[in-house]
Each structure stands twice: as C-alpha cells, then as structure tokens.
Structure 1
Amino acid sequence: MKKIILTIIYILTLSGCGLEQGSYLVGWWNGDIPTKLSDKEEKIWDICREKTKYLPKNTEEEKEKADMELNNCLHEKGFWD
C-alpha cells in the first residue's frame, strides 16, 4: 500500500514539472481562464501598451508605476466599460 501511495505522489509530482506559469492549463487550474478580447478592447489594449511599453521597469517601484500608467490609460479609454 505504501508503494502505491508513493508511486501516485511521484507521478503527480512529475506530471506538474513541465507546466509553465503562464500556460493555459495553469490558468485554467487557478480559475483564470483567458478570454478573447473584443475588437474594441484589443484596439484599446494595443494603444495603451504602445504608450507604456518603453517606461523603465528595472525596480519594483518602476514596475508599479508602469503598471499604474497602463491601468490609467485603459481606464481613460474605457477598456472596462
């Protein structure tokens, strides 16, 4: 019985090793299923991404500031409306 349990744990551990953090299966498992953006949302996303992609992101503070700029742009353009 102990060998069967160890074998199951071993198989489950190895089966999860090949999954990347951003893979569809990991997103599905975490309840974050990606959805297709509408044409309007995709256009807004592209505009805001282009606007903020050259902001520095070397430190945590700079990353937070760049993310806030992106979120502000998305909000101003009506991405979540």
Structure 2
Amino acid sequence: MKKIILTIIYILTLSGCGLEQDSYLVRWWNGNIPTKLSDKKEKIWDICFEETKYLPENTKEEKEKADMELNNCLHEKGFWD
C-alpha cells in the first residue's frame, strides 16, 4: 500500500513539472483565466494606454504614478462600469 501511494505521489509530482506558470491549465487551476474584453472596454483601454504610455517609469515612484494615471483614466472613461 505504501508503494502505491508513493508511486501516485511520484507520478503527480512529475506530471506537474512540465507545466509553465503561464500555461492555460495553471491559470485555470489558479482561477486566473483572462476573459476577452468587450469592444467598448478594449477601446477605452487603448485610449488610456495611448494617453499614458509616454509617462516616465524609471523609478518605483514614477511607475506608481504612471499606473495611477492609467487607473484614473480607466475609471473616468467607465472601464469598470
């Protein structure tokens, strides 16, 4: 019985070794399956990305500010409505 359990654990361990972190199965298992954006949301995302893509992101503070600007733009245009 002990050999069977060890064999099962060994097989399960080896079967998971070949999975990449970004593979569909791993994302599904973790509940992180990206959904396709609607046309309206995709358009809003593209507009906001274009508005904020040239903001500096050299330091952590600049990156946080650029992310906040993108977030504010998305919120103003109704991305999460």
TM-score, normalised to structure 1's length? 0.72
Deviations 1:15-70 (A, max 9, x none): 22222333322221122222111111111112222333344445544443333222
Change (3 A) 1:12 1:63: farther
Q: Distance in 2 between matches of 1:31 and 1:4?
A: 31
Which has the larger displacement, 44-53 or 30-39? Answer: 44-53
Q: Which moved more, 1:53-62 or 1:66-75?
A: 53-62
* Structure 1: segments with no counterpart, 5+ residues: none
- 2:80 is paired with a residue of what secondary structure? coil
Paired with 1:43 and 1:30, the residues of 2 have a C-alpha distance of 28
Distance 1:64 1:4, change over 3 A: farther
Bigger drift between 7-16 and 36-45 goes to 7-16
Q: Over aligned residue pairs, what C-alpha RMSD do you find? A: 2.2
TM-score, normalization by structure 2: 0.72
SS in 2 for 1:19: coil
Between the aligned residues of both structures, percent identity stands at: 90
